[in-house]
Structure 1
Amino acid sequence: MNKQISLGLLFGGLLLAAAVHAQQLTFVMCGGEVREADQKVIDQFQADNPGVTVEMEAVPWGTCQSRSTQLAHAGDPVSLSYMGSRTLKQLAQADLIVPVDIDPAMRGLYQPNVLKTVENQGKFWGFPHAFSTKALFINCAIVEQAGLECRGPRTWDEMYDMAKTIKDKTGIAGVGLAGKDFDNTMHQFLNYLYSNNGTVIDPDTNEITLDSKEAVETLEFYGRLADVAQDGPTAFERSQIKDLFNDGKVAMYIDGPWGRGQHNEDVQATSITVPIPAGPSGQSGTLLITDSIAVFKGTGHEDVAIKLAAALASGEAQYDLDSSWGLTPIMKYEQVIAEKPFYVDDPYWEVFVEPIAGGGPEPLFVEYQSLQTVMNEMIQGIILKEGDAADLVAEAAEALEEFK
């Protein structure tokens, strides 16, 4: 073989190797922005993997999840997407995403039950990447105006009695209640359900478990709260209730840790944050919601996409995101970082961290939008007094069989 041919083959081989290693990952980020903590990891990943580029597209929540799903169905999948974990079961059943391997040592770092938000029948379908729990915010100025001591109610009965006294004595709604046809209406109900030892579906057997004494008790309580809440709860979702709280028109409502930063100075100065009260069949709990990074199937570089997703969800990178964004800590960071984590010794964060072990995940359904519709119709039914709790729960449980 002469030297010219040899050099030609060598040059051709180098071009082929470069083509193999030159990979462009497309990444759809729900929420309309790429957080600085995430961008730092992505920049470092590109620097550590020559030839790999990551094209980011930040898309608002309203259209983002459907965009990623539609592209996959059309045979043009994105490499990975940050989206609500509620979508994972549907995507997995449609064979649009690949399962991911989370190292056993890494699994032990997550807060209790967090991995249940991405797990279905023994497989993980995404890396959890943002986490929220909920607590009860109380405006003490309104409580004291009603002649009551401002302290957190420990039980549902105590919460109802407080709310009723406030409404009777001040005319102000005792509690803000979500009832609009919106995802956080179902979420608000689940906070109470998980504080009463109830569930919606068994993730291991895929059996619907909603039709239970615990769920009936929860729905009955939600209906009682409607009597001491703002007028017309079916017109309100959580952010609108937050506005009422800021305006001094409701005495208490449930929100995530970001709530404090969204309250005006006067309300912040007079408010306390306490655990969600326990139901008659349970103890104080919370809904555990995560968003996660899913890796789509059919790109030819799933392994590289998984590597990037794992880097974004790794310990120190994840801590940077949680602490800068003000999220509930998704991991036990005492075991991850050298310094004291932001939530340790802070009473505000304690009420968001302590209930995690007793909390429950957002239920995973193949038709997650249908889950929301069925649950909201059940909730609206009790608010509008269209049936008794037992019948409404039984009807919802039967309807959910179609969408699991």
Structure 2
Amino acid sequence: MTFHFKTGLLALSLLGSTALGMLGTAVPAQAADQEISWIYCGDKIDPIHEKYIKEWEGKNAGWTVKPEVVGWEQCQDKATTLAAAGNPVAMAYVGSRTLKEFAENDLIVPVPMTDEEKKSYYPNIVDTVTFDDTQWGVPVAFSTKALFWNKDLFKQAGLDPETPPKTWAEEVAFAKQIKEKTGIAGYGLPAKTFDNTMHQFLHWVYTNNGKIIDGDKIVMDSPDVLAALQAYKDITPYSVEGATAYEQNEIRAVFLDGKAGMIQNSTGAAYRLLESKKFEWGVTTIPVGPSAKGPGTLLITDSLAIFKGSGVEEKAIEFAKFITSPGPQEEYELTTDAGLAPLRPSPRVDQLVKDKPYWKPFIDSIPLGGPEPLFKDYKGFQNAMIEMVQSVVTGKAEPADALKKASAAIEEYK
């Protein structure tokens, strides 16, 4: 899942009377002593969550959990606005990328994890909710990416349909050959003014052992990240024309229509390809750059954040950990239609890969994957990254210049 966070937290904390009036008079939070309010993103509550809410309530006499279903485009903004107005919900589903911003504005409380809890997750998952050695949320949804290729187009271009690219150099060469031999784009590169443009680029960063931030130090202006941006420039001529007009789902639609040779996408693409049966396809780990230690990916999580001032923080943490514990979480991941990647290894996950082999690359890339960088102004960071990518794919800037500019720009957002 991806949030589109439109309003900065600091701006919300300074809302004027007109904006607050839309919420009613802002008063100190007085949540019922035995009620946990939960802003739940989506169109409806997942049946698995309904099941385990009832189970938890049964074990905690006198306590109720009250989810409020809010659409994806509005749910995080609503949780933020209520908190900034001094009337927070107990818990909300948020993009982990915003946890530092919430914490820096003193809107959420830490969610301490034991060593045993941390070890239960796949490597690096806990890093997506951690800064200053403190956890600020509980992961509740997770996604990785892999490379899909159109075997029919590979054949038409004279490429071996059973041999996908393993390196960036091969990926660029294959895209070029597809474009020149078939007239169809060899690759689908999304570069719209949209958060996924930054996410897609970070997949390349993490498949070349690169980093954006290390602790509180910006380390983006490095040879490893520059190589990723250069690879973007190199593949652009053989990609879908007008990359800045496309976001991830739009590029996926192009690929599903047989109009691109390769794309990076989630398991959602696999589900749609299995349904359409329009062409033969394959999926593998994302090709790697020259500095890579192995296949990698960006590790994107959404989390349950516990808001400060509800009066039920400790109990909300207890419930958040219960609803995301191995049993309930695994059932949610493996039965929902959202195509979530598993947060933890288990025998059921092993069976999933055995039954549905297309899942393998999405899991194989986790150990060397990297988290979304946490910034106190995530929107500012995101916009600087999008501007950098767009300037390169449109030819307005050379990779080295664009990288230096973006690296300097994001200093103020860390």
- TM-score by length of structure 1 reads 0.91
Give the C-alpha shift of residue 264 in structure 1. Answer: 6.1
Structure 1 ranges of 4+ moved more than 3 A: 19-22, 264-269
* Match 2:124 to one of 90, 107, 113: 113
Residues 152, 275 of structure 1: 8 Å contact kept: no
Task: Please give the alpha-carbon distance, in whole angstroms, between the structure 2 residues aligned to 1:399 and 1:92.
Answer: 22
1:12 maps to none
Aligned residue for 1:129, secondary structure, equals strand
Residues 31, 311 of structure 2: 8 Å contact kept: no
1:50-76 CA distance string (max 9 Å, x none): 221222112122121111011001000
1:57 maps to 68
2:254 maps to 244
1:108-139 CA distance string (max 9 Å, x none): 11000000000011100001111111000111
Residues 33, 312 of structure 2: 8 Å contact kept: no
Aligned residue for 2:83, secondary structure, equals helix
Distance 1:267-1:280 versus aligned 2 partners, 3 A rule: farther
Q: Which runs of 5+ in 2 are unaligned?
A: 1-29
Are 2:200 and 1:180 aligned? no
2:340 maps to 327
1:262-289 CA distance string (max 9 Å, x none): 2364546511001100101113210100
* Match 1:40 to one of 47, 51, 59: 51
1:70-91 CA distance string (max 9 Å, x none): 1001000000011110110000
1:368 maps to 378
Task: Please give the alpha-carbon distance, in whole angstroms, between the structure 2 residues aligned to 1:20 and 1:82.
Answer: 18
Give the C-alpha shift of residue 103 in structure 1. Answer: 2.3
Give the C-alpha shift of residue 30 in structure 1. Answer: 2.0
Are 2:85 and 1:84 aligned? no
Task: Please give the alpha-carbon distance, in whole angstroms, between the structure 2 residues aligned to 1:197 and 1:54.
Answer: 42
* Cα root mean square deviation, aligned: 1.8
Residues 270, 358 of structure 2: 8 Å contact kept: no
1:214-262 CA distance string (max 9 Å, x none): 1111101111111101110000000001110111111110011222112
**Structure 2 matches for 1:324-403, cutoff 5 A?**
324-325=335-336, 326-334=339-347, 341-344=351-354, 346-403=356-413
1:372-395 CA distance string (max 9 Å, x none): 100000000000111111111011
Number of residue-to-residue matches in the alignment: 381
Q: Which runs of 5+ in 1 are unaligned?
A: 1-18
Task: Please give the alpha-carbon distance, in whole angstroms, between the structure 2 residues aligned to 1:140 and 1:157.
Answer: 19
**Structure 2 matches for 1:211-360, cutoff 5 A?**
211-263=221-273, 265-267=275-277, 270-282=280-292, 283-325=294-336, 326-334=339-347, 341-344=351-354, 346-360=356-370
Residues 81, 295 of structure 1: 8 Å contact kept: yes
Residues 139, 267 of structure 1: 8 Å contact kept: no
Task: Please give the alpha-carbon distance, in whole angstroms, between the structure 2 residues aligned to 1:369 and 1:341.
Answer: 39
1:101 maps to 112
Distance 1:209-1:33 versus aligned 2 partners, 3 A rule: farther
* Identical amino acids, percent of aligned pairs: 41
Q: Indicate the larger mover: 43-52 or 308-317.
A: 43-52
Give the C-alpha shift of residue 340 in structure 1. Answer: 5.5
Larger radius of gyration: 1
Residues 194, 359 of structure 1: 8 Å contact kept: yes
User: What letter is aligned with 1:219?
Assistant: L
